[in-house]
Amino acid sequence: MYTDDEKRGWREAETTTSEEQNEAEGLLERATSRKTQGSGFLHGGAYTLLTLIIVVQSIILIRWRTELAEHPPKVSKLGLSTLRNKTLDSGLLNRFWEDDNLTGPNEAWAGINSGHGVIALDIDYATRQGFPDTIIHPYHDDKVVYALEAYHLIHCIQVLRKDYLLVRDNKTPTKPLEHAMHCYDALRQSVMCSASDDLLIVTGHGHKGGFNQTRQCRDWDVLRDYATANTACYWDDELPEGQDDPWKMCDDGSDGLPVGNLLN
């Protein structure tokens, strides 16, 4: 049998143990609560930081696009100057246009080599620059071929002029109708893309708008030299007598167009 004092001691010990357990559980709950709160704080901070980064990046992107629109790059993708810093005379009679005389102008137009603007670039360079896919040069498998747009448009004008005169004389045009339609729309799209706001004087004569004016132009000579340095040796027109391969027609660096001016 146990004495009353012993029983009382056991009850006090049990009470103490129970209180200690309750206290320990309370500490554990508070620690868990603080951990949960801390975790929530960390997650909230991470979301806030991520949101801030997105906002800052968006602001930078918008500002970059705005600055690009207001201050376009001074060089093209090919590294050529985009500045229109050549002051040139335009709108005057010249060897390509002698009013209604066609003999001299026909020779001048026939002498234009628009194939000069077909260029060959290293495949690796074109890939790094993100240039569009195109054909591989038939004789250089490490190079891809492009046509400089300005020369393509010269080609179109050259063909349209030639075929117009043939049709006017009741002769068969050199190119099929779909080629002419392609060229007309290529010219339309290029004009719209350039969206030139140059002001041309009005003379009252439909064929003399912009007569005898000066214009601010890009440097065609620089473009010609670039094409020469990267020539694909391509011939765009009927092959000369004795030639049978348009990809083996390297020129002497001339494209048949005026040097240093627009007229002569």
Domain shared by 66 and 93, yes or no: no
Boundary residue ending a domain (14, 39, 70): 70
pLDDT-derived band of residue 178, with 50, 70 and 90 as boundaries? very high
What is the average pLDDT score of the chain? Answer: 85
> Shortest CA distance to 153 belongs to which of 264, 255, 261?
255
Domain shared by 15 and 53, yes or no: yes
214 strand-pairing partners:
89
Domain shared by 53 and 130, yes or no: no
Those residues whose C-beta lies under 8 Å from the C-beta of residue 166, and which sit 6 or more positions away, are: 172, 173, 174
- DSSP type of residue 77: T
CA distance 177 to 166: 13
Please write the tens of the pLDDT for every residue from 106-124: 999 999 999 999 999 999 9
CA distance 239 to 96: 22
pLDDT recorded at residue 49: 75
> Shortest CA distance to 208 belongs to which of 45, 99, 86?
99
Q: Is 49 helix (H, G, I), strand (E, B) or coil?
A: helix
Domain shared by 87 and 213, yes or no: yes
Provide Rg for the chain, Cα atoms.
39
Domain shared by 99 and 59, yes or no: no
CA 176 to mean position of chain CA atoms: 31
Mean pLDDT of all residues in 252-258: 97
Does residue 1 surpass a pLDDT of 60?
no
Q: How many domains does the chain have?
A: 2
pLDDT recorded at residue 60: 74
CA distance 263 to 91: 8
Domain shared by 42 and 90, yes or no: no
> Shortest CA distance to 161 belongs to which of 108, 208, 91?
108
pLDDT recorded at residue 10: 47
Mean pLDDT of all residues in 195-200: 93
Instruction: Indicate the angle between helix axes 220-229 and 149-168, nearest 10 degrees.
Output: 100
Does residue 76 surpass a pLDDT of 70?
yes
Domain shared by 44 and 159, yes or no: no
pLDDT recorded at residue 12: 53
0.85 surpassed by pTM: no
CA distance 42 to 211: 73
Domain shared by 50 and 137, yes or no: no
pLDDT recorded at residue 71: 63
Boundary residue ending a domain (26, 55, 70): 70
Boundary residue ending a domain (27, 47, 70): 70
Does residue 13 surpass a pLDDT of 60?
no
CA distance 161 to 97: 12
Those residues whose C-beta lies under 8 Å from the C-beta of residue 152, and which sit 6 or more positions away, are: 114, 117, 186
Those residues whose C-beta lies under 8 Å from the C-beta of residue 41, and which sit 6 or more positions away, are: none
Does residue 64 surpass a pLDDT of 80?
no
The whole domain housing 23 covers 5-70
